[in-house]
């Protein structure tokens, strides 16, 4: 890994990982706003699930979800926003998708036994079975910054982002993260070749990845929690100990955003969100859980900017 301040392009290897988002972590890489970063990332198991016989219950949960980083962005300070443009996600040649009977998943209490799917990825297609082929849609399950307070395990999300498992954290989109500490201390990983909304069986197809991103810094434009922008939508990202609380959090952030950006009465902003907005789950099988609230950009005649 090149840890120097080379202008423009930097690389960071998977030998630099953290298992918590923590302001006390020493930076593994320093970059300037506008720089490109190529980050080599483990899968969420650190490569320890390789066969159908490997059981995630045997793993040390404290060592799950290794995130490559942290990356210190020069000039970032509390009250700023870090804009992360996701430019490319190259994934490994195979992935794993285990079940967690009795622990995670909406059917965890049903009489369904342990199972681990190992599936190859070839030419942009997951060969799930000979009779089931799935086009890849790579995304990052974990992308976040250090919180201002106590460390948070990478298994969880919060105002700082991290393990949200929103499938819109993907190539072509921008994730906006509030900055809480000097340098932001960005970390990322936990890629999936495919994942459904809600991560309902507790896993996507977990894969290694090489991620190309650009980091931009928006000074003095605070956000309470992450937002995502795609070519067609804007999304607020909420979380809570129940999915109702997480949905309320995400929708409230959207109503706040519309009220502020469109100079719209709050009741009207709430009404508009209810008419055309969608509530979509990210990591919905843990507590806290993650939701995002999306709005179409096409309805906004004069456009809109984030944050």
* pTM of full prediction above 0.85: yes
Instruction: Answer whether 274's CB lies under 8 Å from 267's CB.
Output: no
Q: Is the model's pLDDT at 3 over the cut of 50?
A: no
Cα torsion 41, 42, 43, 47 to 10°: value is 160
Start-to-end Cα distance in the chain: 33
| Alpha-carbon gap, residue 274 to 108, rounded angstroms | 32
pLDDT of residue 107: 96
The mean pLDDT of 208-212, rounded to a whole number, is 98
The mean pLDDT of 36-54, rounded to a whole number, is 95
pLDDT of residue 7: 62
Instruction: Answer whether 188's CB lies under 8 Å from 41's CB.
Output: yes
Secondary structure letter of residue 275 according to DSSP: H
pLDDT of residue 111: 96
The mean pLDDT of 189-201, rounded to a whole number, is 97
Helices 243-261 and 266-276: crossing angle in degrees, nearest 10, is: 120
Cα torsion 97, 98, 104, 109 to 10°: value is 130
The mean pLDDT of 196-215, rounded to a whole number, is 97
Q: Which residue in 231, 214, 219, 226 sits closest to 176, CA to CA?
A: 226
Residues 6+ apart with CB under 8 A from 271: none
Q: pLDDT of 220-257, one tens digit each?
A: 999 999 999 999 999 999 999 999 999 999 999 999 99
Secondary structure letter of residue 198 according to DSSP: T
- Cis omega before residue 62 (within 30°)? no
**DSSP H helices in the chain:** 243-261, 266-276
pLDDT of residue 5: 47
- By CB atoms closer than 10 A (0-12, 13-18, 19+), residue 48 is middle
- Lowest-pLDDT range of 61-65, 77-81, 117-121: 61-65
Secondary structure letter of residue 278 according to DSSP: E
| Alpha-carbon gap, residue 181 to 154, rounded angstroms | 17
* pLDDT, mean over the chain: 95
With b for 16 or more beta-carbon neighbours within 10 A and e for fewer, the 14-31 pattern comes to bebbbbbbbbebebbbeb
* HEC assignment per residue over 77-131: CCCCEEEEEEEEEEECCEEEEECCCCCCCCCCCCCCCCCEEEEEEECCEEEEECC
The mean pLDDT of 60-85, rounded to a whole number, is 95
pLDDT of residue 4: 43
Q: Which residue segments constitute the domains of the chain, with CATH numbers given? A: 9-91+138-218 (2.60.120.580), 227-299 (3.10.28.20)
pLDDT band of residue 2 (cuts 50, 70, 90) is very low
Length of the chain: 307
SS3 175: strand
Q: pLDDT of 95-144, one tens digit each?
A: 999 999 999 999 999 999 999 999 999 999 999 999 999 999 999 999 99
pLDDT of residue 1: 35
| Alpha-carbon gap, residue 218 to 306, rounded angstroms | 10
pLDDT of residue 61: 82
pLDDT of residue 46: 95
Q: What are the C-alpha distances in Å from 1 to residues 50, 84, 86, 140?
A: 26, 21, 20, 21
Instruction: Answer whether 141's CB lies under 8 Å from 164's CB.
Output: yes
């Amino acid at each position: 890994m090149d840890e120097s301040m080379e202008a423009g392009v930097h690389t960071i290897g998977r030998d630099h990982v953290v298992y918590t988002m923590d302001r006390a972590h020493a930076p593994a890489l320093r970059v300037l706003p506008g720089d490109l970063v190529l980050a080599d990332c483990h899968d969420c198991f650190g490569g320890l699930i390789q066969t159908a016989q490997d059981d995630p219950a045997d793993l040390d949960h404290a060592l799950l979800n290794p995130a490559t980083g942290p990356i210190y962005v020069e000039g970032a300070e509390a009250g700023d926003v870090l804009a992360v443009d996701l430019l490319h996600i190259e994934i490994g040649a195979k992935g794993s998708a285990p079940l967690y009977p009795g622990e995670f998943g909406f059917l965890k209490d049903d009489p369904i036994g342990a199972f681990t799917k190992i599936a190859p990825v070839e030419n942009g297609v997951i060969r799930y079975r000979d009779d089931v082929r799935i086009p890849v849609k790579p995304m990052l399950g974990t992308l976040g910054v250090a919180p201002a307070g106590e460390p948070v395990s990478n298994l969880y999300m919060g105002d700082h982002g991290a393990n949200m498992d929103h499938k819109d954290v993907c190539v072509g989109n921008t994730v906006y993260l509030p900055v809480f500490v000097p340098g932001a201390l960005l970390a990322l990983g936990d890629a999936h070749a495919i994942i459904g909304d809600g991560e309902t069986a507790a896993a996507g197809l977990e894969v290694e990845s090489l991620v190309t991103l650009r980091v931009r810094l928006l000074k003095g434009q605070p956000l309470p929690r992450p937002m995502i922008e795609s070519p067609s939508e804007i999304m607020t990202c909420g979380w809570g100990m129940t999915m109702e609380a997480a949905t309320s959090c995400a929708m409230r952030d959207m109503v706040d955003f519309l009220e502020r950006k469109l100079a719209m009465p709050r009741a009207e902003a709430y009404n508009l969100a209810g008419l055309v907005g969608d509530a979509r789950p990210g990591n919905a099988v843990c507590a806290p859980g993650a939701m995002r609230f999306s709005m179409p950009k096409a309805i906004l005649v004069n456009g809109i900017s984030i944050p």
